[in-house]
Structure 1
Amino acid sequence: MVRTIGFILFVFLPLALAGCGGPGNANNMLSDAELGNAADPAVTSALQDPIMVDPQLGRQANGDAIRPPSQPYSGGVPDDAVATNGAKVDTAGLLKAPAPTTGKDCPQCRTARDAVTLGGIAARQSNPRIKGCAGALQYSASWAQRLPADLPLYPQARVTEAAGAQGGKCALRVVSFSAAQPIDALLDYYYTKATRAGYSSEHQVDGAQHILGGTRSRDDGAYVLFLTPRKNGGTDVDLVANNGS
């Protein structure tokens, strides 16, 4: 009797479970081909595209070797000459920047130490137009091409970050970049540009960092540069200006 019941369950239980699916559920099941047609074309294309392999990095993998690689994997930062704006540096006729002052009262020195972002640098400026527009900053590398015409991006500069605010009284630009030239070359370049455009210029120093900044009364223009020498002989720069193009 027990064997008979077991036999009946063995035969009819799978049939009952199959019947639970019903024709309605069968209609809801999509074939692999149908799923492929319903997929996002961009995703499908990405999955079907061949994988690109860098042969230089592939050789570094050393995956089939018993011994470890002969040298660490390369993770170096590109040289400053890579991805620059390509313009030539014209040093003819540049004025010499004045020697820096090292007095105790250096608000911009404190700004450089306390600010962590480009927005933080702008928000700590004493100029009301710069300070008031700092909260509206938007980050995009394209702002580096909209600096004031009289305080342009340094030739061969390599932009690392840029932000700007445009609208109403705001024409704020804040750009971080590096250049392969030494710090004195950049100080002379921007001192000459600012002086000839009618800005005042004050040069201060705080440790290794130099600060060059000034104002222009006729249009309430203001700018400030924070320049730090790099170990490779180049210079890192943060530039703030409120009369962007």
Structure 2
Amino acid sequence: MRSYLSIGLICVSLAACSDGGSGNESDLAALDAELTQGQSASGADPQVMATLNDPIMVDPQLGAKSNADAIRPAPQPYAAPVPHPGVAAGSAAPDEKLLAAPAPKPLTDASIRQSITLASLAGSRRTKAAACNGRLAYSANWANRLPAELPLHPDARVTEAGGVEGNGCSMRVASFFVAKPAALLVDWYYTRAVRAGFSAEHQADGATHVLGGGRREGLTYLVVLTDRGDGGTDIDLITGR
């Protein structure tokens, strides 16, 4: 009797589970329909559609930098050409013997210290060439037309140059930088001037050295060398007659 009763209770329980499953399936179907209707409604919303259909904004400049650090093959094979034997010789050739410039005297011409342009520096000389400074024409080509006796230093990096020729004026001016100490360059230009027959007076004021002089035919020069403090020297060179 008890076994029949147990079997009956099990059947009732299974029937209840079966009914509950049907209810769950109905609930899931209803939820699915609700979600589907919601998606359709949102898809019809103009604001939502406009947002979804808007193009993605891309910055080409930033896009070009994308993956900039990635490893990629070189555009061409690497090459290591052999440099010219004298590419780094410059003025430091071992066979060049420089004359030592005399100890400097105090710089007495305040206008040289106060000059901030090549024209004003040329005007400070109070010579015939100084009267031509108002006619200076600036061009890097003038740096190649300096007198052969007082040329640019072989390691010079020209920053400005100018000159004038004709109507009683003949002058060349150049500003340049040399990555060598001022003391060495003072001796270099002193050697060039003396060996070319120029007089050479050496004056100094702090980090600024001045060499100046002339020859009998009237050619004069002025070299202003300023120690930059970083092992290099700024140089202003003026020649004229």
With over 3 angstroms needed to count, the CA separation of the structure-2 counterparts of 1:87 and 1:143, relative to structure 1, is: farther
Counterpart position of 1:174: 173
With a CA cutoff of 8 Å and minimum separation of 6, indicate the structure with the bigger relative contact order: 1
Counterpart position of 1:74: none
Counterpart position of 1:163: 162
Counterpart position of 1:138: 137
How many residue pairs are counted as aligned between the two chains?
Answer: 159
Distance 1:171 1:52 in 2: 52
Distance 1:143 1:221 in 2: 17
Counterpart position of 1:102: 106
With over 3 angstroms needed to count, the CA separation of the structure-2 counterparts of 1:161 and 1:87, relative to structure 1, is: farther
Is the contact made by 2:112 and 2:124 (CA closer than 8 Å) also made in structure 1?
A: no
Distance 2:61 2:140 in 1: 27
3-state secondary structure, aligned to 2:183: helix
1:52, distance to aligned residue in structure 2 (A): 11
1:228 aligns with 2:239: no
Distance 2:88 2:167 in 1: 33
Distance 1:97 1:139 in 2: 31
AA matched with 1:126: R
Is the contact made by 1:172 and 1:242 (CA closer than 8 Å) also made in structure 2?
A: yes
Distance 2:196 2:157 in 1: 24
Distance 1:199 1:234 in 2: 26
Is the contact made by 1:87 and 1:156 (CA closer than 8 Å) also made in structure 2?
A: no
| TM norm structure 2 | 0.61
With over 3 angstroms needed to count, the CA separation of the structure-2 counterparts of 1:121 and 1:232, relative to structure 1, is: same
Post-superposition CA distance 1:20-49 (Å, at most 9, x none): xxxxxxxxxxxxxxxxxxxxxxxxxxxxxx
- The correspondence of residues 63-102 of structure 1 with structure 2, limited to 5 A, is 88-89=90-91, 90=93, 92-102=96-106
* Structure 1: gaps of 5 or more residues: 1-50, 60-84
Counterpart position of 1:202: 201
Distance 2:88 2:240 in 1: 25
Distance 2:207 2:90 in 1: 27
AA matched with 1:88: G
3-state secondary structure, aligned to 2:197: coil
Counterpart position of 1:118: 118
AA matched with 2:223: L
3-state secondary structure, aligned to 1:228: strand
Distance 1:88 1:211 in 2: 23
Counterpart position of 1:24: none
1:124, distance to aligned residue in structure 2 (A): 1.4
Instruction: State the Cα RMSD in Å.
Output: 2.5
1:87, distance to aligned residue in structure 2 (A): 6.9
Distance 1:111 1:155 in 2: 29
Distance 2:167 2:200 in 1: 27
Is the contact made by 1:183 and 1:229 (CA closer than 8 Å) also made in structure 2?
A: yes
1:169, distance to aligned residue in structure 2 (A): 2.7
Is the contact made by 1:122 and 1:134 (CA closer than 8 Å) also made in structure 2?
A: yes
Report sequence identity in percent: 46
Structure 1 stretches of at least 4 aligned residues deviating more than 6 Å after TM superposition: none
Is the contact made by 1:86 and 1:155 (CA closer than 8 Å) also made in structure 2?
A: no
Counterpart position of 1:240: 238
* Structure 2: gaps of 5 or more residues: 1-59, 67-86
3-state secondary structure, aligned to 1:191: helix
